[in-house]
Amino acid sequence: MKIGIVGLGVIGGSFAEALQSAGYQNIYGIDHNQETLDTAVNMGIIKEGFLTGDSILPELDLTIMALYPKTAVKFIQANHDFFKDGSILMDTTGIKETFMAEMATVLPENIEVVYTHPMAGRENRGIAYAQGSVFQGANFLITPTEANHEDTLKKIEGLATEIGFGKVNRVSASFHDQMISFTSQLPHAIAISLMNSDHEKRETGKFTGDSYPELTRIAKINEDLWSELFIDNKTYLLQSIQDFEIQLNLIKEAIKTDDREQLKALFRRSTANRLKLEAGMDERKRKK
Amino acid sequence: MKIGIVGLGVIGGSFAEALQSAGYQNIYGIDHNQETLDTAVNMGIIKEGFLTGDSILPELDLTIMALYPKTAVKFIQANHDFFKDGSILMDTTGIKETFMAEMATVLPENIEVVYTHPMAGRENRGIAYAQGSVFQGANFLITPTEANHEDTLKKIEGLATEIGFGKVNRVSASFHDQMISFTSQLPHAIAISLMNSDHEKRETGKFTGDSYPELTRIAKINEDLWSELFIDNKTYLLQSIQDFEIQLNLIKEAIKTDDREQLKALFRRSTANRLKLEAGMDERKRKK
């Protein structure tokens, strides 16, 4: 099986490394940056690199596309006629509903696309930060379409498990986007707002324990990618922000009115919710 | 020098261990729980344990108090007459302005109190989670009073450095509380609100990467301690929450109006701010 990876950034590069570690030999890279391709060849994670898709796409049985949403659509438009008949295109973008609708208008008819979301992003970008181990035990989501065949989905699920993903699940595109707005985009919006609400010229680093550094790690953010994700998922993200604000307002009101019992009730609830989340995390680890 | 630690929870226990590791021999514990005292003796981090202060306080040259604010005030009231003449009392609570005002009304005149904040809390409570290594490289703040002598402050600063703290700084009580509302209490309020804004019965664990687990670690919270801290520091905390809300609203507005350039500007700012914080973190590590 010949596998191509389009976009050798931190995600694409990690896929190349994970596949190579899992024993796959024929992995090819497509990237607009020659230096990135050379690096990937030197790292031994791709066999050969290509600046365009025309010569290699016709040979690929599986094409893994690790591009920003808008770039992904443009890539398909530019390479519409080059895909191998009956080959699989695996998408990895972090939003689905609007993106899949846009993709549907440009996809060639001779391939089957599987929409996935490997939940292992990193705040650093570029192949230098690629490492297959980030997928170990991570969540892998598939948002199937009516055009998908069961054996194709099984093949991709098998591949995900083979390269180390923990839980592999199928969900609807809309539920995916709703959940992702809560577990991924909202935390980023929060981290950015926390970081930006610091006052100028305070030596904040003198006053930090673990909480502030931990809650702001993801405030270092790829602005090109995430501005797309935020706006493309605006409906769900605005709802998740609102849900969060309702809870923050409960804390504010309790503080204002010295309502210690209400604060304690909110803290007990968050503690219970967190313990429930941790129990699931342990379960995932046990399954590894 | 005989040192006593009042309250062998996660902070007091960590002090006992850190002092013991630094070579101090005569460390005594005071705690209302006999089991905790026995554990500390068995761990070898205190020489002897006491349920009350009356018999041991008169012998102590340094008393480290690791209690919740209200409990600390009650402890001083109950043990007013037992402190050794000229001994030092080191406080470790996480808020200062209101607490110090309350303490001033109950302190005995024959001791010198040094108000400190060792910034190394943990989401877990109790002696079982005590470990001196949590202080390694951590921030240590002192909020001096007019009654403090320079040599006493130097002694406490030296002790803090000796047991592993990184940056040791003196600040005013009001600036301490303002900064702590931002770097500690606001992150906790955020983590709790994020955790509590999840909808019931969603299998959220299937949809998480690193961000959500990381931003909610501190949503597991000691409700007795933190409800005190939130309410006692309400003025600064409400201001910090408002500063945060202003930034979150900027993101919301940019999403609503599809203003990608504004989003990118906010993301670039948070990235720059985070890199500045990380540079300070590295500096601290270099100094170790």
Residues A45 and A180 in one domain: no
Once rounded to an integer, what is the mean pLDDT over residues A92-113?
96
Tokens encoding A134: 């980030």
Residues B107 and B232 in one domain: no
User: Which residue out of B96, B139, B253, B263 would a mutagenesis test of the A interface target, given it has the greatest number of A Cβ atoms within 10 Å?
Assistant: B263
B239 touches chain A (CB under 8 A): no
Domain count, chain A: 2
- Hey, are the CB atoms on B281 and A183 less than 8 Å from each other? no
pLDDT score for A123: 66
Tokens encoding A247: 């809870």
* Residue B13 lies inside a defined structural domain of this protein: yes
Residues A52 and A69 in one domain: yes
Residue with tokens 């191998």: A84
Once rounded to an integer, what is the mean pLDDT over residues A90-104?
96
Give CA B68 to chain center in angstroms.
10
- State which of B144, B171, B198 marks the end of a domain: B171
pLDDT score for A287: 43
* Residue B207 lies inside a defined structural domain of this protein: yes
Q: How many CB pairs under 8 A join A and B?
A: 301
- For A202-249, the pLDDT digits (tens) are 899 999 999 999 999 999 999 999 999 999 999 999 999 999 999 999
Residues A8 and A106 in one domain: yes
- What phi and psi, each to the nearest 5 degrees, are found at residue A116? -130, 165
Q: What is the mean pLDDT of chain A?
A: 94
Q: Using an 8 Å Cβ cutoff, are B122 and B5 in contact?
A: no
* Residue B276 lies inside a defined structural domain of this protein: no
Q: Tell whether the model's pLDDT for residue A201 goes beyond 90.
A: no
CA nearest neighbour of B173 among B99, B268, B257 = B99
* Residue B180 lies inside a defined structural domain of this protein: yes
pLDDT score for B286: 43
Band of residue A283 on the pLDDT scale cut at 50, 70, 90: low
- Read off the CATH number of the domain in which A197 is found: 1.10.3660.10
Q: Tell whether the model's pLDDT for residue A122 goes beyond 90.
A: no
- For A55-84, the pLDDT digits (tens) are 999 999 999 999 999 999 999 999 999 999
Residues A80 and A222 in one domain: no
Domain that holds residue A37: 3-171
* Residue A66 lies inside a defined structural domain of this protein: yes
pLDDT score for A120: 85
Task: Give B 116-155 residues with CB within 8 A of chain A.
Answer: 119-121, 138-139, 141
| Core vs surface per residue A6-24: b (16+ CB within 10 A) or e | bbbbbbbbbbbbbbbeeeb
pLDDT score for A285: 47
DSSP state of A168: E
Share of chain A above pLDDT 90, in %: 89
* Residue B122 lies inside a defined structural domain of this protein: yes
- State which of A151, A171, A191 marks the end of a domain: A171
* Cross-chain CB nearest to B206 (options A139, A205, A271): A139
Neighboring chain B residues of A274 at a CB cutoff of 8 Å? 195, 216-217, 219-220
pLDDT score for B121: 67
pTM recorded for the entire structure: 0.91
Of A21-30, A271-280, B114-123, minimum mean pLDDT range: B114-123
**C-alpha–C-alpha distance, residues B198 and B195, integer Å:** 6
Residues A184 and A92 in one domain: no
ipTM summary value: 0.90
Band of residue A286 on the pLDDT scale cut at 50, 70, 90: very low
Residues B133 and B198 in one domain: no
Smallest CA–CA distance, residue A241 to chain B, in Å, is: 8
Show pLDDT as tens, one digit a residue, over chain B (288 residues). Answer: 999 999 999 999 999 999 999 999 999 999 999 999 999 999 999 999 999 999 999 999 999 999 999 999 999 999 999 999 999 999 999 999 999 999 999 999 999 999 999 998 676 777 878 888 889 999 999 999 999 999 999 999 999 999 999 999 999 999 999 999 999 999 999 999 999 999 988 899 999 999 999 999 999 999 999 999 999 999 999 999 999 999 999 999 999 999 999 999 999 999 999 999 999 875 544 443
Hey, is B4 helix, strand or coil?
strand
Residues B140 and B225 in one domain: no
Residues A185 and A111 in one domain: no
Residues A167 and A181 in one domain: no
CA nearest neighbour of B27 among B6, B58, B9, B54 = B6
Residues B56 and B189 in one domain: no
Instruction: Determine if residue A132 is left, alpha or beta; phi over 0 gives left, psi from -120 to 50 gives alpha, anything else beta.
Output: alpha
* Residue B281 lies inside a defined structural domain of this protein: no
DSSP state of A64: E
Band of residue A288 on the pLDDT scale cut at 50, 70, 90: very low
Collect all residues with Cβ–Cβ distance below 8 Å to B55 and sequence separation of at least 6: none
Share of chain A above pLDDT 70, in %: 97
Q: Using an 8 Å Cβ cutoff, are B214 and B134 in contact?
A: no
Residues B18 and B137 in one domain: yes
Task: Give B 243-272 residues with CB within 8 A of chain A.
Answer: 243-248, 250-252, 254-256, 258, 260, 263-264, 266-271
- Read off the CATH number of the domain in which B58 is found: 3.40.50.720
The residue ranking higher by pLDDT, A1 or A201, is A1
* Residue A7 lies inside a defined structural domain of this protein: yes
